[in-house]
Chain A
Amino acid sequence: DTGVSQDPRHKITKRGQNVTFRCDPISEHNRLYWYRQTLGQGPEFLTYFQNEAQLEKSRLLSDRFSAERPKGSFSTLEIQRTEQGDSAMYLCASSSPWGGLETQYFGPGTRLLVL
């Protein structure tokens, strides 16, 4: 399967703990996006990378959130000192802007529950 993969699929943690999620994009996709989705809402943009450069961050991304894509391939999203309000589905998408209109393809998501 050459789609976007995310790990873990589920994470339960206690308030105050740190968590890290990983996303592996479709091979050769140079853009990688992180979104967050809460119940009853559509996905909300968090940040995106073009290769290893982080080009945009949403104001939703507080200081407790950090994302990296060190070699321009996989990416990690870390949440420090988790809060109950961080409970959500974290989605990763990748795309390639070449060859016409850009379509973002999503992974299965990581569902986070903060107790």
Chain B
Amino acid sequence: DQQVKQNSPSLSVQEGRISILNCDYTNSMFDYFLWYKKYPAEGPTFLISISSIKDKNEDGRFTVFLNKSAKHLSLHIVPSQPGDSAVYFCAARDNQGGKLIFGQGTELSVKP
């Protein structure tokens, strides 16, 4: 069963506009959520995270929102830049052991 889902396989945004990437989860026991960015042939690069006790975390152009009642999180990138084009993965941490459960990824394309 897919405990973490990213239902949009791709997203295309104009440079300078907002990118919103979404993620849904099913397990209420996840205690920590992370977003990673991945370029082809490289490992995932950590972007931003949020604890389950918070509803928002901001770092520069990146903001993550967590809606626990809806079991939904989103990553906002403002303003989007062509260098942001990559695959974005959301991940949830299993509070029983620390392993991460990843979504399938969303490929973001930011067009000049």
Spell out A's residues near B (CB within 8 Å).
4, 6, 31, 33, 35, 40-45, 48, 55-56, 58, 91, 93, 95, 97, 101-109, 111
Contacts and interface: CB of A to CB of B under 8 A. Distances in A.
Interface residues of B, number: 25
B21 interface: no
Interface of B: 4, 6, 32, 34, 36, 41-46, 49, 51, 89, 91, 93, 97-105
Nearest to A3: B43
B97 to A, nearest CB: 5
Contacts, number: 66
B99 A106 contact: no
Contact of A97 (B4, B44, B51, B98): B98
State the main secondary structure of chain B at its contact with A: strand
Contact of A44 (B6, B42, B102): B102
Contacts of A95: 98
Contact of B99 (A33, A41, A101): A33
Contacts of A55: 97
B46 A42 contact: no
A48 B41 contact: no
Contact of A103 (B41, B49, B104): B49
Contact of B34 (A44, A48, A103): A103
A75 to B, nearest CB: 15
Contact of A105 (B32, B46, B98): B46
A101 B91 contact: no
17 contacts: A35-B100, A40-B104, A42-B91, A44-B102, A48-B98, A55-B97, A56-B97, A93-B43, A95-B98, A101-B51, A102-B32, A102-B98, A103-B49, A108-B42, A109-B41, A109-B42, A111-B41
